[in-house]
Chains A and B, each alone.
Chain A
Amino acid sequence: MSSFGNIDLSNINTPQKVEEVKNQVRKEMAMANAQELINNINKHCYKTCLSNPGPSLSSSDEGCLGRCMDKFLASWDVVSRAYIGRVQQENK
């Protein structure tokens, strides 16, 4: 097999191939990370904003979901700083 993902590796030299493989891994990781974040926002903001779902998404539901998305991302940021700070402290 000479292809990885949708990149054809057969015509390029080894260091280039290695870089391509690494980039593909990085890309897939970023995708998985984004996917997980989206799933979590969906789960938690649905719960926060649609405790009583109506026959359609109302404009107040949409307003709440928009604010909730911002707030969830801010939370992700706070948690990430707190956690990484703690990990660095433990490793000293």
Chain B
Amino acid sequence: MSGNFDEATQRELSAFVEQESAKMQLQSNIHEFTGRCWETCIKDAKSNQLDSREKSCMENCVGRFIDTSVFIVKRLQMNQH
């Protein structure tokens, strides 16, 4: 398939694929967080909407998960020195 395209076109396409892969990774993280935080924050489906407590729980869950990963990396770097 790539044999049909000249070099510039191949470069353009590989840049495109890289860009789209990054988007895919972002979306995959969103799926992952939604599932993880749903487990933590949502106990039932008595309503079809999030109440304010559930909404802030979901937001905190995403934020603290990212904080946790930042913390772990920092801590590991500290221990190296």
Residue ranges of A at the interface with B (Cβ–Cβ < 8 Å): 1-2, 4, 9, 14, 17-18, 21-22, 25-26, 29, 32-33, 36-37, 40, 43-45, 48-49, 64-68, 70-72, 74-76, 78-80, 82-84, 86-87
Contact = CB atoms under 8 A, between A and B. Distances in A.
B35 A43 contact: yes
Interface residues of B, number: 39
B65 to A, nearest CB: 9
A28 to B, nearest CB: 10
Contact residues of A: prevailing secondary structure: helix
Interface of B: 1, 4-6, 9, 12-13, 16-17, 20, 23-24, 26-31, 33-35, 37-39, 41-42, 44-50, 55, 58-59, 62-63, 66
A83 B31 contact: no
Contact residues of B: prevailing secondary structure: helix
15 contacts: A2-B4, A9-B4, A14-B5, A17-B5, A18-B12, A48-B45, A68-B48, A71-B47, A71-B48, A74-B49, A75-B37, A76-B31, A78-B58, A78-B59, A79-B30
